[in-house]
Structure 1
Amino acid sequence: MTAAYTLYAKPGFAATTIERLCSEARISNRAFYECFGGREELLQALHERCVEESLAVVAKALQEAPSTLDGRVKAGIRAYIEFATADWRRARIMHLEVRRSGDVLTASRQRAVDSFARLVEEASADFPQARSLNRRLVALGAIGALQELLIEWILADEQPGIDELVEVAVHIFIRGLSAS
């Protein structure tokens, strides 16, 4: 898994063969197939691990956040962005390779988006200003925007700063959730 974590991040899923994975991990092809049905299954396992870890980080941040809509949004977004960007490989797998892999991660990606959308819905449920719109649709739109901000962070020649990413994402989430 460690070899795949690095290779799937760069040079990327499409460019990483099983032979290269096994060589990097210093295992035989047979040993690989005793653990995984193929490189797609390994990518899914890596993606799901990253998602589970990030969900836990965000849920903890939301629990510890001030009990205001702004406080929860800021805490959740900062926790997610800092977690995703703390390791470039994680950011690439969760936001770039998940798209580049085609149909391989479609179901896994949808489960992740749904889980994060539920977190946003739950975190905003107690606030009257967040009730006028369909919170699920707002959450999905804001999550999509956050993903694009992180793709920009990954691919930009001059990466935006983490504080700037947080500021923009918080603005998008708050404006979406506070709209009437």
Structure 2
Amino acid sequence: MSAEQRLADRRERLMTAAYSLYAKPGFAETTIERLCSEARISNRAFYECFGSQEELLQACHERCVDESLAVVSKAVQEAPNTLDDRVKAGIRAYIEFTTADWRRARIMHVEVRRSGDVLTLSRQRAIDAFARLVEDASADFVHPPGLNRRLVALGVVGALQELLIEWLHAEAPPPIGELVDVAAHIFIRSLGTP
């Protein structure tokens, strides 16, 4: 392998290790030494790939967000052109994709918050991207008069995040279908006509 290929391979192995370790035991409990051991690289090699553990967490979070946005965008574009169909398709795609691997859900909805200021900007960019997607997907439809569409979009994105946190933390997690139904109800009631 060339030097560039070796660096890319190490970087990917660190991302894979972080994906598991940042989900459990969690970002705060994971050391660089443990990441390097899991990735089978030296501690020195870590710093050739990432400037800090925070930078690695941000890379993991952003990958999860980018993959989720792509899945949801595709689902919304392929849905029939009604508010109900677009909302249900987007929410189902998001929830199913995010919960298909609990580590993804945990990084995106728990560790991003537990990391403190480390991911504040990354988290804000993700929320903004999902809110824009909601605004775009619902732009052709009548909205409740007098309400700021941007704030409504932020509110429904926040509601979806809380539902997924409940799924992660509940002793008896709600079924995925129930999460989809509740989230769709919240979105449609918030975005549609009164």
Question: TM-score, normalization: structure 2?
Answer: 0.90
- CA shift, 1:128, in A, is 1.8
Aligned to 2:60: 46
Report Cα offsets for 1:131-166 as digits up to 9, x if no partner. 652111111011111000000001111110000000
Question: TM-score, normalization: structure 1?
Answer: 0.97
- CA shift, 1:179, in A, is 4.8
**What SS does the corresponding residue of 1:128 show, helix, strand or coil?**
coil
Q: State whether structure 2 residue 148 is matched by structure 1 residue 162.
A: no
- CA shift, 1:174, in A, is 0.6
Give RMSD over aligned pairs: 1.0
- 1:124–1:130 Cα contact (<8 Å) kept: no
1:172 aligned to which of 173, 176, 186: 186
Aligned residue pair count: 180
Aligned to 2:83: 69
Q: CA separation in 2, counterparts of 1:12 and 1:29?
A: 19
- 1:125–1:131 Cα contact (<8 Å) kept: no
AA at the equivalent of 1:121: E
- CA shift, 1:129, in A, is 3.5
5+ long unaligned stretches in structure 1: none
Q: State whether structure 2 residue 35 is matched by structure 1 residue 21.
A: yes
1:136 aligned to which of 150, 156, 161: 150
5+ long unaligned stretches in structure 2: 1-14
Aligned to 1:84: 98
Listed as ranges, the matches of 1:112-151 within 5 Å are: 112-129=126-143, 132-151=146-165
- 2:79–2:89 Cα contact (<8 Å) kept: yes
Say if 1:57 and 1:131 are closer, same or farther in 2 by CA, change over 3 A: farther
- 1:133–1:177 Cα contact (<8 Å) kept: no
Say if 1:72 and 1:131 are closer, same or farther in 2 by CA, change over 3 A: farther
- CA shift, 1:114, in A, is 0.3
Say if 1:157 and 1:112 are closer, same or farther in 2 by CA, change over 3 A: same
**What SS does the corresponding residue of 2:28 show, helix, strand or coil?**
coil
